[in-house]
């Protein structure tokens, strides 16, 4: 219901309509959509390089090299005890700044925002955003190496 206000100097009638109380969120993509998965694959291909600092021409080669380096560096006795879960061990491995992956929290947050998987007007905490970034990379890497 609008409220009415009459301006005494100009005899204008102004109607003020209340703002709607319900907000309709914009649709967001899920993290397992083909579009998001393709963007993650492209990101892996851009970030992973071989021992001579050459980028890979195929995603499969980049993902296999990423996994072999993860396996070589992170799968030792003490680390297997500290992180029995492969995904947590991969997150720890990513903290060591392998290849050219993002490492600043702001950069990771901006990258996740470009994927449109966060609900609008909801700011996730930094740790959850970083975990999501590492999980997306881990999931695509594991799909690529699966027989």
pLDDT reported for residue 31: 77
CA distance 50 to 35: 26
Q: Give the CB-side neighbour count of residue 53, counting CA atoms within 13 A.
A: 0
pLDDT reported for residue 117: 82
pLDDT per position as a tens digit, 81-106? 999 999 999 999 999 888 999 999 99
pLDDT reported for residue 84: 93
* Main-chain dihedrals φ then ψ at residue 55, nearest 5 degrees: -75, 155
Q: What's the maximum distance between 2 C-alpha atoms anywhere in the chain?
A: 84
pLDDT reported for residue 53: 85
**What is the domain partition of the chain in residue ranges?**
29-145
pLDDT reported for residue 24: 38
- One DSSP character per residue, 60-74 reads HHHHHHHHHHHHHHH
CB 59 within 8 A of CB 41: yes
pLDDT reported for residue 12: 61
pLDDT reported for residue 30: 79
CA distance 137 to 130: 11
- Reduced to 3 states (helix: H, G, I; strand: E, B; else coil), residue 12 is strand
Query: Shortest CA distance to 31 belongs to which of 101, 122, 134?
Result: 134
pLDDT reported for residue 11: 57
pLDDT reported for residue 21: 44
Residues of the chain short of pLDDT 50, as ranges, are 1, 17, 19-26
CA distance 31 to 144: 17
pLDDT reported for residue 51: 85
């Amino acid at each position: 219901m609008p409220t009415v206000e009459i301006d005494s100097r100009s005899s204008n009638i102004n109607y003020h309509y209340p703002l709607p109380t319900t907000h309709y969120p914009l649709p967001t993509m899920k993290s397992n959509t083909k579009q998001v998965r393709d963007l993650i694959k492209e990101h892996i291909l851009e970030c992973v390089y071989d021992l001579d600092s050459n980028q890979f021409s195929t995603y499969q080669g980049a993902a296999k090299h990423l996994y072999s380096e993860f396996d070589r560096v992170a799968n030792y006795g003490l680390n297997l005890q500290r992180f029995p879960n492969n995904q947590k061990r991969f997150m720890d491995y990513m903290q060591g700044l392998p290849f050219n992956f993002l490492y600043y929290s702001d950069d990771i947050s901006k990258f996740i925002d470009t994927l449109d998987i966060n609900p609008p007007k909801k700011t996730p905490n930094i740790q959850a955003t970083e975990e999501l970034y590492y999980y997306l990379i881990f999931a695509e890497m594991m799909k690529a190496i699966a027989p």
